[in-house]
Every structure is written in structure tokens, then in C-alpha cells.
Amino acid sequence: MSDHDLDIQTAPTGTAAANRLVAEAGRRRTFAVISHPDAGKSTLTEALVLHARVITQAGAIHGKAGRRATVSDWMEMEQARGISITSTALQFPYLSPDGQDCVINLLDTPGHADFSEDTYRVLSAVDCAVMLIDAAKGLEPQTLKLFQVCKHRGLPILTVINKWDRPGRHALELLDEIQERIGLKPTPLTWPVGIAGDFKGVLDRRTGNFIRFTRTAGGATAAPEEHIAPDRAHDAAGIDWDNAVEECELIAADDGDHDQELFLQGVTTPVLFTSAALNFGVNQLLDNLVRLAPAPSGQADVNGDVRPVDSPFSAFVFKVQAGMDSAHRDRIAYARVCSGTFERGDVLTHAATGKPFVTKYAQSVFGQQRSTLDNAWPGDVIGLANAAALRPGDTLFRDIPVQFPPIPSFSPEHFSVARGTDPSKHKQFRKGIEQLEQEGVVQVLRSNRRGDQAPVLAAVGPLQFEVTSHRMATEFNAPISLEGLPYTVARAVDPDDAEFVEKQVSMEVLTRTDGVMLALFTTKWRLQGFQEDNPSVKLRPLVAAGDD
Ligand code: G4P
């Protein structure tokens, strides 16, 4: 009998179908890794999948240029530069040593030059984040920006201190930095045995055991590990074990023990130590993720009412990827399932328009590979092809209507004036800009002074401008030129104050399509100075204002 025969979506509570739905949701762990470029996110992703035994050798999923295993047919730009513009969703099953039979959904947050508003939007689709830190570098700017978004969403965060096989900072010093700079109390689950650069294993604070790791050739297979009881650990690791024990006593005395409630409330962050490259500590990360990270739970709608996971199907779109195949101009909308069961072919309702949406072309995305997706459960990501009508933040539902809150527009840091290079293409220019704005590719700001022919494009990352330029030329037949503006910081400003701000030197006020007026500043120091001189002008930070 197929899932459809069971008619799960309308199954009354207590039936086998409804129980299955709740059980499937409970098995899911949907998370993203937030990190600064080069902290080891791709390496860790490969290691996690390796440990879940989906692939037998690391290196087959998500490499950068040169070590990519499958050639993608995505945007020419992506091919030329060897970067991954899209957010991918990896899904793999995992049976933990405790016997928990789980499904892991790992959503990618692109880094490097491809950092964009999409990176932030992905975080609206996960239940937990893993903050990955390079042991030698500590907290870095991009990690901090992404952390702000997690904090805004109230996401629980697990911290992973990576590259412990290389010389780095002292573990206690890294904990202090986390607490001081982001205000989360670190509660280590494992503690390194051996200083950074001499990674012998970890002290598992739950069992007290020494978990000793052994290197494998090139880190290409899962590292063998031995669990050594505390009374034999000194013989195995000597002074390094004694130091680890002593440091753990200090941590315990300083309220550094894990507390599940405080973790879920975003007050504490459990910490683990890894070497993703050597596959050390990755098992422990996976096990703790399954044990501690929350399963999907009900999602609040625009009125604040929670739609439980066992309600009829609902999902929201967190990303729209267009232009992946220039021959077909296809467009994939990625939606996170919030409640109910999805079966390919279901006819859903698009909440924004009330129109039916047929899901014949649902796909799952695994690294660079796509395959047809037949079923999905709460916490899963579905890729919907031919989704021209769908925008980030849109809701899809079945049977009982629901509307989830919109995804906020994030604080832009890059601004450019867009002008059509061919005056005869004015209509195409307007249409293209409007469409790309609706899709969430860039934010569009306007003012009377600049006029409609030269709107200001605003972005979180400069790649958004490249995508806009590329699509304006190839898809809308309206090539544009972009003139960079010197602003880097935006704040929402009340209309009453706008005129005053506009009169200041090197400041400008522009209006976003949602009506919010943005005051733009060249630097955060300029903003600070202005606020000090004009305390009566109310400026509000936008989401993900980062560390400015
Ligand atoms: P990213 O996705 O966060 O940008 O980082 P990525 O995994 O690509 O890792 C960046 C570099 O750091 C890579 O080296 C990778 O091998 C290395 N790395 C990642 N994790 C560890 C670790 O735990 N220990 C050590 N020693 N190195 C690590 P690369 O030289 O840029 O590439 P490659 O030639 O090694 O592939």
C-alpha cells in the first residue's frame, strides 16, 4: 500500500497514517552549518555524510572547483567560476548508536563571493544551526552575521571548533570568546585531549570516557575510534588526559554543563571539537545532533496561531533559483514542509493567489544531483520546478488554508544604480527589474530624486548584482550598467525624519517597495556620529545588521 492509499493528509488523529506522520516528523533533523569561508564547511558536510555511510569515500559531494565530482549544468557563471550559487539540501538517513533511526536534512548556506540574501533565507527553513569555527581564527565576520540571523529566529545553535589537528588557540580562550562576543554560554559536550595541533581524541563529558581517534590515509574513510574508560585513559594519553580532566572540572564549576532547555531557548551552545579533514569527532557531532537538535514542530502562521505538524500539508518557499538551465529557463522554488505529507502530483493551493499549484515536477536535490521526489514529510525540502509564480516567503497548503509570515528583507550592504544601456528597451528594463525584485534576487530602492529609470539595487552580497546583470541581459533582453554607490550600512528611518537625513552630507534616503524608508550611510562610524549628533532621529536596524 502506498502512502497515498493511506490518505495520510486527511487521516484523523490516532490512525496508523496520522501516527506515521508524527513519527516521520519526529525522525527529522533539519539544520544548516553557518561559518566563515574556509572554516571547513564543505569538508565537514562530506564527513557527516561519510559517517552516515551514504558514501564510502569522502570527496564526492560538494567539492570546490577541481575536486567537484559531478559537473553541474547550472548557470554559466557558476561553471566559469567554480562556485556553488545555489543552496542545496542534502538528505540522508542515519541510525545512531542509541538506536535512533533518523533522517538528516542539511541545508547549505553558500559562502565566499556567493554570500547573498539567499544565505540568510535558508536559515528560515531550519530548526537548528551548527556554528563552525576554525580553531586558529575563532569567530569571524561572516559567522557573526549569520549568527545574528539565527539569534533573531531564536534558533538553537551547536558550536563546532574545527581543525583541531592544526596549531590553534587554547580551547578555554575560544570558549571565552564565544561567550563575550555573542553572549551564548558555551557548554562543551566533548573536550579535546591534546592541544590544537596534537589532536589525540576527546573526553566525552557525558560518559567520562576518552575517545581515542586513529588517522586514516588522507582522512578518506571514517576514523576508527576506541572508547577508553577514565581509569585507563591516563595510561593511554598521559598528561594530555590529565589536562583535559582538569579543564573539564573548571568548566563544570563555571556552570558549563549542558542543559537541554537552555540550549533550546538559545541561551547556551553545546560545543564539540573536530577535525573534519581527519574525520575526528564527526561521529560525536552527528550523534549529538540527533540527540539534542529539535525535530520539526508546529509553525506559527501570520496570526501567531501554530499549525501542528500533523495538520494537512503546508510548506513555505525559502528560495527561488532561476536560470539553472539556460535552454529551458527553468525555475526551482525550494519549499520547506511544515505540516502534513507531500506526495508528488498533489494539487496544492498557492496562498498568495489562491490558485492551484500542481506538483508534478517535484525534485529532491542531493549535492549537484537532482532526482524526482515522491514523498516528503515535515522538515524536508522539496524543489518545485516550473514554479514561475512562487516567491520566497510564499505559502503552499492543502485542505485547510494557512499563511505563514513573510521572510524578512535583510539589511543590504551593497548598493548600485542600475541603468538600461539600450534606451529602446525601457519596457523590458522595468519588467525585468520588477520580476527580479519579486523573486527576491535583489532589493530595489527608489526616490523621486533618482527617478524610475535609475533605481538603486541593494544586496547583501555583490553576487546578487552579477546574477541581476546576467539575467537582465539574457532573460529580459535589457542589458544594464551598474554604478556602485559608496554606502555600506542601511537603517530604517521614519518618514518624518527622512527629509532631515536626506539633507546631510554623504547620506541618502530611499524607499523600498514594501514602503520602508532606508537611510544609507557610508560607514558604521558615519552612522554612529550621526546618531550621537541627532539623538531625536529614530533609526532602526534591519534584520541581520551583523556586527555594525
Ligand atoms: P569551506 O567550505 O568552509 O569554505 O571550507 P572547506 O571545507 O573547503 O575547507 C577549507 C580548507 O580547510 C581546505 O583546504 C580543507 O581541506 C581545510 N580543512 C577543512 N577542515 C579541516 C580540518 O579539520 N583540518 C585541517 N587541517 N584542514 C581542514 P584547502 O587547502 O583549501 O583545500 P584542499 O586542497 O585541502 O582540499
Q: What are phi and psi of 84, to 5 degrees?
A: -105, 105
Q: What is the mean pLDDT of residues 8-29?
A: 80
Q: Angle between the 171-182 and 141-153 helix axes, to the nearest 10 degrees?
A: 50
Among residues 547, 518, 546, 542, which one has the least CA distance to residue 409? 542
3-state secondary structure 64-119: CCCCCCCCCCCCHHHHHHCCCCCCCEEEEEEECCCCCEEEEEEECCCCHHHCCHHH
Query: Is the beta carbon of 162 within 6 A of some atom in ligand 1?
Result: yes
CB 530 within 8 A of CB 521: yes
Nearest-atom number in ligand 1 for the CA of 36 is 3
Neighbours of 183 (CB within 10 A): 11
Neighbours of 20 (CB within 10 A): 17
Q: Calculate how far, in angstroms, residue 272's C-alpha sits from the geometric centre of ligand 1.
A: 18
Cα torsion through 308, 312, 313, 318, rounded to 10:
-40
Residue 216 Ramachandran class (φ > 0 left, ψ -120 to 50 alpha, else beta): beta
Q: Calculate how far, in angstroms, residue 37's C-alpha sits from the geometric centre of ligand 1.
A: 10
CB 272 within 8 A of CB 281: yes
Q: Return the exposure string of 452-479: e unless at least 16 CB atoms fall within 10 Å of the residue's CB, then b.
A: eeebbbbbbbbbbbbbbbbbbeebbebb
- Location of C-alpha cell 547583501: 460
Nearest-atom number in ligand 1 for the CA of 112 is 4
**Pairing relationship of beta strands 268-273 and 157-162 according to DSSP bridges:** parallel
User: Of 117-131, 350-364, 480-494, where does mean pLDDT reach its minimum?
Assistant: 350-364
pLDDT in tens, 377-402: 999 998 887 788 889 999 999 999 99
CB 95 within 8 A of CB 87: no
Query: Is the beta carbon of 142 within 6 A of some atom in ligand 1?
Result: no
Query: Is the beta carbon of 3 within 6 A of some atom in ligand 1?
Result: no
Query: Is the beta carbon of 37 within 6 A of some atom in ligand 1?
Result: yes
Query: Is the beta carbon of 111 within 6 A of some atom in ligand 1?
Result: yes
> Sorting pLDDT into bands at 50, 70 and 90, what band is 11?
low
pLDDT at 86: 42
> Sorting pLDDT into bands at 50, 70 and 90, what band is 273?
very high
User: Of 110-124, 203-217, 257-271, where does mean pLDDT reach its minimum?
Assistant: 110-124
pLDDT at 78: 42
Q: What is the mean pLDDT of residues 245-258?
A: 96
Q: Calculate how far, in angstroms, residue 288's C-alpha sits from the geometric centre of ligand 1.
A: 23
Task: Using the Cα atoms of residue 379, residue 381, residue 384 and residue 387 in order, give the sign of their dihedral.
Answer: positive
pLDDT at 61: 46
pLDDT at 324: 53
Query: Is the beta carbon of 38 within 6 A of some atom in ligand 1?
Result: yes
Q: In what order do the strands lie in the sheet with 201-204?
A: 190-193, 201-204, 210-213, 225-228
Q: Which residues pair with 186 in a beta bridge?
A: 269
Q: What is the mean pLDDT of residues 9-14?
A: 57
Is the per-residue pLDDT at 172 higher than 80? yes
Running DSSP on this structure, what letter comes out for residue 400?
S
3-state secondary structure 185-207: EEEECEEEECCCCCCCEEEECCC
Q: Calculate how far, in angstroms, residue 422's C-alpha sits from the geometric centre of ligand 1.
A: 45
Q: Whole-angstrom Cα distance, residue 183 to residue 177?
A: 9
CB 189 within 8 A of CB 271: yes
Query: Is the beta carbon of 143 within 6 A of some atom in ligand 1?
Result: no
Q: Calculate how far, in angstroms, residue 43's C-alpha sits from the geometric centre of ligand 1.
A: 6
Query: Is the beta carbon of 40 within 6 A of some atom in ligand 1?
Result: yes
Is the per-residue pLDDT at 160 higher than 70? yes
On the CB side of 150, how many CA atoms lie within 13 Å of its CA?
31
* 475 contact partners, CB below 8 Å, separation of at least 6: 322, 323, 329, 432
Q: Whole-angstrom Cα distance, residue 409 to residue 438?
A: 12
Q: Whole-angstrom Cα distance, residue 76 to residue 245?
A: 53
Query: Is the beta carbon of 33 within 6 A of some atom in ligand 1?
Result: no
Query: What residue's CA is closest to ligand 1, atom 30?
Result: 38
Running DSSP on this structure, what letter comes out for residue 45?
H
pLDDT at 544: 57
Residue to mutate, 43, 67, 115, 119, ligand 1, most ligand atoms under 8 Å from C-beta: 43
- Location of C-alpha cell 577541481: 66
Query: What residue's CA is closest to ligand 1, atom 22?
Result: 163
Query: Is the beta carbon of 405 within 6 A of some atom in ligand 1?
Result: no
Q: Where is mean pLDDT largest: 42-51, 68-77, 122-131?
A: 122-131
* 405 contact partners, CB below 8 Å, separation of at least 6: 300, 301, 302, 393
Q: Calculate how far, in angstroms, residue 487's C-alpha sits from the geometric centre of ligand 1.
A: 33
Running DSSP on this structure, what letter comes out for residue 271?
E
Q: Which residue has the higher pLDDT, 354 or 117?
A: 354
> Sorting pLDDT into bands at 50, 70 and 90, what band is 370?
low
On the CB side of 2, how many CA atoms lie within 13 Å of its CA?
8
Residues present in the chain in total: 548
Query: What residue's CA is closest to ligand 1, atom 24?
Result: 163
> Sorting pLDDT into bands at 50, 70 and 90, what band is 329?
low
Q: Where is mean pLDDT largest: 121-125, 128-132, 451-455?
A: 128-132
Query: What residue's CA is closest to ligand 1, atom 9?
Result: 40
Is the per-residue pLDDT at 5 higher than 50? no
Q: Whole-angstrom Cα distance, residue 199 to residue 276?
A: 12
Query: Is the beta carbon of 140 within 6 A of some atom in ligand 1?
Result: no
pLDDT in tens, 199-238: 999 999 999 999 999 988 766 677 889 999 999 999 999 9
Q: What is the mean pLDDT of residues 187-208?
A: 97
- Three cell numbers at 245? 580532566
Query: Is the beta carbon of 109 within 6 A of some atom in ligand 1?
Result: no
> Sorting pLDDT into bands at 50, 70 and 90, what band is 277?
very high
Nearest-atom number in ligand 1 for the CA of 46 is 7
pLDDT in tens, 476-490: 999 999 999 999 999
User: Of 124-128, 168-172, 327-331, 413-417, where does mean pLDDT reach its minimum?
Assistant: 327-331
Query: What residue's CA is closest to ligand 1, atom 4?
Result: 38
User: Of 125-129, 246-250, 276-280, 408-412, where does mean pLDDT reach its minimum?
Assistant: 408-412
Is the per-residue pLDDT at 2 higher than 50? no
Q: What is the mean pLDDT of residues 305-326?
A: 85
pLDDT at 4: 42
Q: Return the exposure string of 352-365: e unless at least 16 CB atoms fall within 10 Å of the residue's CB, then b.
A: beeeebebebbbbb
Q: What is the mean pLDDT of residues 515-537?
A: 95
Q: What is the mean pLDDT of residues 412-422?
A: 95
pLDDT at 90: 80
> Sorting pLDDT into bands at 50, 70 and 90, what band is 452?
confident
CB 480 within 8 A of CB 419: yes
Q: What is the mean pLDDT of residues 330-358?
A: 90
Q: What are phi and psi of 222, to 5 degrees?
A: -55, 135
pLDDT at 456: 97
Q: Whole-angstrom Cα distance, residue 193 to residue 158?
A: 20
- Three cell numbers at 112? 565566499
Is the per-residue pLDDT at 66 higher than 90? no
Q: Whole-angstrom Cα distance, residue 145 to residue 460?
A: 11
pLDDT at 83: 34
* 333 contact partners, CB below 8 Å, separation of at least 6: 317, 319, 320, 321, 383, 384, 387, 390, 394
Q: What is the mean pLDDT of residues 234-252?
A: 96
Q: What is the mean pLDDT of the chain?
A: 86
Detail the residues annotated as belonging to a binding site for GTP.
Answer: 108-112
- What residue ranges define each of the domains in the chain, with the CATH number in brackets? 16-60+76-292 (3.40.50.300), 306-397 (2.40.30.10), 414-541 (3.30.70.3280)
pLDDT at 364: 65
pTM above 0.85, yes or no: yes
pLDDT at 387: 80
Query: Is the beta carbon of 469 within 6 A of some atom in ligand 1?
Result: no
Instruction: Report the Cα 124 to chain-centroid distance in Å.
Output: 7
Query: Is the beta carbon of 166 within 6 A of some atom in ligand 1?
Result: yes
Neighbours of 1 (CB within 10 A): 5
Burial degree of 327 (CB within 10 A; 0-12, 13-18, 19+): exposed
Is the per-residue pLDDT at 353 higher than 60? yes
